[in-house]
Structure 1
Amino acid sequence: MIQALTRTIAQDLDHWNNSPHRKPLLLRGARQTGKTWIVNAFGASHFTHVARIDFMRDVDARALFDGNLTVDTLLRSIEIYTGVPVHPESTLVFLDEIQECPRAITALKYFCEDAPNYHVIATGSYMGVSRHEDASFPVGKVDMLTLHPLTFTEFLANAGQSALADLIREGDIASIPAAFSPRLADLLKTYMMVGGMPEVVLAHLNGASAHETRAQQLAILDSYDLDFSKHAPTRLLERIRLVWRSLPAQLAKENRRFVYGVVRPGARARDFEESLMWLDDYGIITRVPCASALRTPLSSYADPAVFKLFVSDIGLLGALADLDPAIVLNGSAIFTEFKGALTEQLVCQQLVAQQYSPCYWANPQGHAEVDFAVEQYGKIYPIEVKATVNLRAKSLHVACDRFHLDHAFRMAMTDYRDEGWIANFPLWASIGLRAYLKQTD
């Protein structure tokens, strides 16, 4: 029985802990990505004491931050409230669900300035941390990390395939023998069904059936819907739900550009833009804007009004679409059903986890379209995603010729092969792209 999952963000927490320039750390992420668990585990392994306040549960604790934000007073109050001794080197001060106490967000500034020798970690959702108008966000006074759902390499490592996970994570794609491709393809199919939500992954690894893991995914979706009701302005609630529920239909289109009319016939951008912003802040969607040109800096060519929309987790997309898990798991069906939507979702999710801000490009004069483009080391890399073994690359040719790009990627169910201007990149290797480029640049 697996009791806990291994997460690569633990290495980032070690780096933060050992940094001589350490500031209070704000760990952000969507709900149920495992923020509380990872900080508790880190605290237990690195400190004698963990003084934790959960502002969601410990409502009374919010009053500790109502008055003067003098650090000595706050630390003494935290010590009394938690019953845990608070010492600079041996205690982790853990402010969980900090978005529920806006004044605690402001207090992080004073922990940075007046108590830099203390170890302070706060966790919060994207939405809660960014949307409190009555709180002053401590810009420049906090270190920040983001916890995503498990990536494919994290899934592999927890499934007993650490050696393969390390090769992919290190960008050593060329050194992985083709003999392992069938195993990696099968595990990828499983990952595309299970997704990366920690609770679902843990259940799967402990023998839960596809039906049971789907039930857990649906429970997470239900909890999101309850959060919509709790946190969203009443005037936006129904529109938020309409946008959220439209995502499978948006991605099922041949052209996956977000269309407001799919949300509601006759709808316009002004009707749903605020709802999209709310879901973005909540952390469960990813906007991929259309770039007018594949030139650096890529962000300056991104059109925020034209975009594709993806979900934070591929398993949740399958549940939201009511996609039968058997379609995902049986044979090669995963790579032909749902018109490649899951395949693009997979690649997008792995790119975001590598801290890319992907765009896409569509040629206004023709039918060429590049599914994603990322920027690294001042270079633009176009990416075409194929749901099957497909070696055509017409759109990549057009893009590379038009914008004088040196290298492109075709991600498909194929073995790795570098052909000079283009690399055939297995879908299971998409999470290793940044490390691969670091090696080959």
Structure 2
Amino acid sequence: MERFIMKDLIKWKNRKDRKPLVIKGVRQCGKTYILKQFGEENYEDTAYFNFEGNPALAARFEQDLDPKRIIMELGVLIGRKINQHKTLIIFDEIQFCNAALTSLKYFYEQTPEYHIVCAGSLIGITLSKPLSFPVGKVDFLTLRPMSFPEFIIANDEEMLFEYIRNLNTQDQIPQMFADKLITLYKTYLITGGMPEVVAKWKETEDISEVERIQDVILNAYELDFAKHAPVSDIPKLSLIWKSIPDQLSKESGKFVYGHVKPGARAKDLEDALQWLINAGMVYKVLKIEKPAMPLSAYSDPSYFKLYMADTGLLRRMSRLPASSIYKDSALYTEFKGAMTENFVLNELINLHGEVPFYWKSGNTAEVDFIVQLEERIFPIEVKASTNVKSRSLGVYREKYKPEISIRSSLMNFKMDEGLLNIPLYLIWNIEKFVNS
């Protein structure tokens, strides 16, 4: 399956100032697979090393951090020579060996001719701890669950993707194409973007098989709490994690600590919440009261919404039947807005890795997302269907007079006095549309 990060990996390979590369990303998003594919397609050889449960490998870094000795001994471990420039060295689950993390500094300073990439399902947790991490001596990339355009391609719709990628806001999408895109969009809400889930859907088109894989992933996340989190935080992590669907389904969507556990306050749960954020499992979207640059300066850290990194896992955790999404069941109406917002958020974060904000003015109006694209700020109102009435966006527009306001819904392209409707299945291309 095609992943857009491959282009960034090739750029890294060709850079003259290349440093060891660390790939961050939530568990099961495809880090190991993409690195092995990258090695197979761009190097003569790939030397793969996994630190999880491998003391013999970790021992290679205990004597000292001399990169030439380490390279020689790693070659002995795999039974072949590791060549400069020709071999891609993969350190997987590197967070299990602090010395290996530290060694990246010396690989960069003393043997930059070796190409080293590292991955770890909880590398964000590792980086948040006070370890001897080689700050400034490594490059970073983040791999997330498959985006919607990657999902389109994975479903053998490359020509459809090329067609919509070149659309402009002056175009009208023919209904037969719009119908196919809406079906793909609804399927994506069900499966999400975890590569194993998408592969199982493509192989079987069996929702029960999809949900079986999703349950395996969700169980693995819970096991990560027990294996890697501070003991005192484990019950809190589980409670926060399981409360997300319910919190999003509330009318305001605001995260309330007391809804996690009666009587709980921020100081009781904020460390556990930060663990989930560092692990890449959730996104924290802060409220702002004024759309001015930088947006972060006008945010309120105590008022936020919590979304998940994958819409498919959100749906599965909520136990929402797939048929409710395909049929637009009335019983799904209240949760539909939360699912749609989570989808749009994930696509926005895929643009540049930045989490947007949302705007709220007292109890009178609320706009789902506020994004900054270069030097321009755009409000984005998310609508789950073709019912696009929005008093809140009207209040925002009246107050701040934005150059362009965005509404994302299942409607076709439409520009109406500065209000641009972008179909939900095209929100990933927002940068092109606001500049066309």
2:284 and 2:355 in contact (8 A); partners too: no
Q: Distance in 1 between the 2:172 and 2:418 partners? A: 21
Partner residue, 2:355: 357
Residues 24/113 of structure 1: CA separation in 2 closer, same or farther (3 Å cut): same
Which deviates more, 287-296 or 67-76? 67-76
Partner residue, 1:29: 25
Question: Residue 174 of structure 1: CA displacement?
Answer: 4.5
1:258 and 1:309 in contact (8 A); partners too: yes
2:378 and 2:402 in contact (8 A); partners too: yes
> Which residue of 394, 397, 403 maps to 1:397?
394
The correspondence of residues 134-283 of structure 1 with structure 2, limited to 5 A, is: 135-169=131-165, 172=168, 174-175=170-171, 177-179=173-175, 180-283=177-280
1:50 and 1:93 in contact (8 A); partners too: yes
Q: Distance in 1 between the 2:166 and 2:116 partners? A: 31
Whichever residue aligns with residue 349 of structure 1, its letter is N
Partner residue, 1:90: 86
> Which residue of 372, 379, 383 maps to 2:380?
383
Are positions 1:312 and 2:315 aligned together?
no
Question: Residue 338 of structure 1: CA displacement?
Answer: 1.3
Q: Distance in 1 between the 2:336 and 2:183 partners? A: 19
SS in 2 for 1:409: strand
Partner residue, 2:14: 18
Deviations 1:208-248 (A, max 9, x none): 41111011111110111111111111111111100000011
Q: Distance in 1 between the 2:240 and 2:142 partners? A: 24
1:291 and 1:359 in contact (8 A); partners too: yes
Residues 74/174 of structure 1: CA separation in 2 closer, same or farther (3 Å cut): farther
SS in 1 for 2:204: coil
Aligned length: 433
Whichever residue aligns with residue 275 of structure 1, its letter is A
> Which residue of 406, 410, 416 maps to 2:403?
406
> Which residue of 321, 324, 340 maps to 2:321?
324
Q: Distance in 2 between the 1:228 and 1:304 partners? A: 25
Q: Distance in 1 between the 2:111 and 2:222 partners? A: 39
Partner residue, 1:101: 97
Question: Residue 65 of structure 1: CA displacement?
Answer: 1.3
Are positions 1:67 and 2:63 aligned together?
yes
Question: Residue 141 of structure 1: CA displacement?
Answer: 1.5
Question: Residue 176 of structure 1: CA displacement?
Answer: 5.8
Q: Distance in 2 between the 1:399 and 1:306 partners? A: 19
Question: Residue 335 of structure 1: CA displacement?
Answer: 7.3
Deviations 1:360-399 (A, max 9, x none): 01002x4210100110111111100111212323322322
Residues 172/116 of structure 1: CA separation in 2 closer, same or farther (3 Å cut): farther
- Over the residues paired in the alignment, what is the CA RMSD in angstroms? 1.8
Q: Distance in 2 between the 1:295 and 1:332 partners? A: 39
Deviations 1:383-433 (A, max 9, x none): 001112123233223223323421110111110112241100111111111
1:26 and 1:145 in contact (8 A); partners too: yes
Question: Residue 142 of structure 1: CA displacement?
Answer: 1.3
Residues 74/45 of structure 1: CA separation in 2 closer, same or farther (3 Å cut): same
Whichever residue aligns with residue 60 of structure 1, its letter is A
Question: Residue 16 of structure 1: CA displacement?
Answer: 1.1
Are positions 1:53 and 2:49 aligned together?
yes
SS in 2 for 1:155: helix
TM normalised by structure 1 equals: 0.94
Question: Residue 171 of structure 1: CA displacement?
Answer: 6.7
Which deviates more, 332-341 or 52-61? 332-341
Q: Distance in 2 between the 1:385 and 1:193 partners? A: 18
Unaligned regions of 5+ residues in structure 1, if any? none
Whichever residue aligns with residue 23 of structure 1, its letter is K
Unaligned regions of 5+ residues in structure 2, if any? none
Partner residue, 2:415: 418
SS in 1 for 2:60: helix
Residues 332/423 of structure 1: CA separation in 2 closer, same or farther (3 Å cut): farther
Which deviates more, 334-343 or 272-281? 334-343
Residues 337/392 of structure 1: CA separation in 2 closer, same or farther (3 Å cut): closer
2:285 and 2:356 in contact (8 A); partners too: yes
TM normalised by structure 2 equals: 0.95
Q: Distance in 2 between the 1:251 and 1:239 partners? A: 18
Whichever residue aligns with residue 34 of structure 1, its letter is G
